[in-house]
Amino acid sequence: MIRSLLSRLRRAWRPPQWREIEHFDEQWKRRIKGLAYLLDQEKSVLDLGCGRMWLREFLPDGTRYFCCDYVARSPETIVCDFNRNEFPDLRVDVCFVSGCLEYVEDVDWFLGRIAQASDRLILSYCSTELVPGLPGRKSLAWKSHLSHDALLAKAEAAGFQLCARGEDIDGNEMLKFEKPSRQNPTGSQASK
Ligand SMILES: C[S@@+](CC[C@H](N)C(=O)[O-])C[C@H]1O[C@@H](n2cnc3c(N)ncnc32)[C@H](O)[C@@H]1O
């Protein structure tokens, strides 16, 4: 009887959605700071899944900051739900994705749109090597469950190659990607 009750409970359990468990933790600034260390004088940054926009604290003066989330976090937020295939219509020097790819259902689509928006990507990711266990991952409302190599393969399919990796922080890989064909290493771009 207990076994059948448990199996019924297991069937009834539905993983939560991000919007149901939404919270922000100042500890994530460690991850953002570590990722920001991978910036290289880019003049415009698009912060995808910007949350409280803590990245702004770590940007050099004069950097143009664009932020995007599924709800307006500030008057300047570009509102897009990545799980409805919505994405900002922008070109920037670098896209910045901190603690967000885990919540994206269609990673191939998302990386493809990033590649249209920029030649560079700075990304944190809790790979399945660093955070194993599907039930635990799903209970955090995560939608993507990729190994390090699977993530790299998807980035490569979108046109990116890994060009730098920082120290892992709090279970996050800290990665920077670039298009191999990038012609203008110091040039700045940002346009609507
Ligand atoms: C764990 S928080 C990280 C916030 C911030 N980037 C940071 O590092 O502090 C995940 C962020 O992704 C956003 N997000 C989750 N699902 C999203 C979706 N489907 N479309 C757009 N943004 C989403 C959340 O609203 C939230 O701001």
What's 152's domain CATH number? 3.40.50.150
21 located within any domain: no
6 confidence band (pLDDT: 50, 70, 90): low
Work out the average pLDDT over 93-119.
Answer: 98
Work out the average pLDDT over 100-122.
Answer: 98
Q: pLDDT at residue 12 above 90?
A: no
> Is the C-beta atom of 38 inside 6 A of ligand 1?
no
Closest CA to 82 of 116, 107, 118: 107
Number of domains in the chain: 1
Ligand 1 centroid to residue 8 C-alpha, Å: 32
124 located within any domain: yes
Mutate-to-test residue for ligand 1 from 55, 100, 109, highest number of ligand atoms within 8 A of CB: 100
* 126-155 pLDDT, tens digit each: 999 999 999 999 999 999 999 999 999 999
Q: What CA–CA distances, in Å, run from 137 to 87, 120, 155?
A: 25, 27, 21
**Domain enclosing residue 160, as ranges:** 40-178
Residue 18: CB atoms within 10 Å: 17
Residue of minimum CA distance from atom 12 in ligand 1: 49
Nearest-angstrom CA–CA distance, 119 and 99: 20
Work out the average pLDDT over 98-116.
Answer: 98
Residues 6 or more apart whose CB falls under 8 angstroms from that of 40 comprise none
Residue 168: per-residue pLDDT: 98
Ligand 1 centroid to residue 22 C-alpha, Å: 9
Work out the average pLDDT over 2-14.
Answer: 68
29 located within any domain: no
69 located within any domain: yes
* 18-70 pLDDT, tens digit each: 999 999 999 999 999 999 999 999 999 999 999 999 999 999 999 999 999 99
Nearest-angstrom CA–CA distance, 37 and 109: 27
Residue 81 alpha carbon, nearest atom of ligand 1: 20
Side chain identity at residue 174, one-letter code: M
Work out the average pLDDT over 72-90.
Answer: 98
Residue 181: per-residue pLDDT: 77
Residue % of the chain over a pLDDT of 70: 89
Q: Strands 64-69, 161-169: parallel, antiparallel or unpaired by DSSP?
A: unpaired
* C-alpha count within 13 angstroms, C-beta hemisphere, residue 91: 7
In this structure, what token pair is assigned to residue 86?
């919505």
* 157-187 pLDDT, tens digit each: 999 999 999 999 999 999 999 999 765 554 4
In this structure, what token pair is assigned to residue 107?
């990673």
In this structure, what token pair is assigned to residue 128?
């399945």
Residue 187: per-residue pLDDT: 43
3 located within any domain: no
107 located within any domain: yes
Side chain identity at residue 179, one-letter code: K
> Is the C-beta atom of 98 inside 6 A of ligand 1?
yes
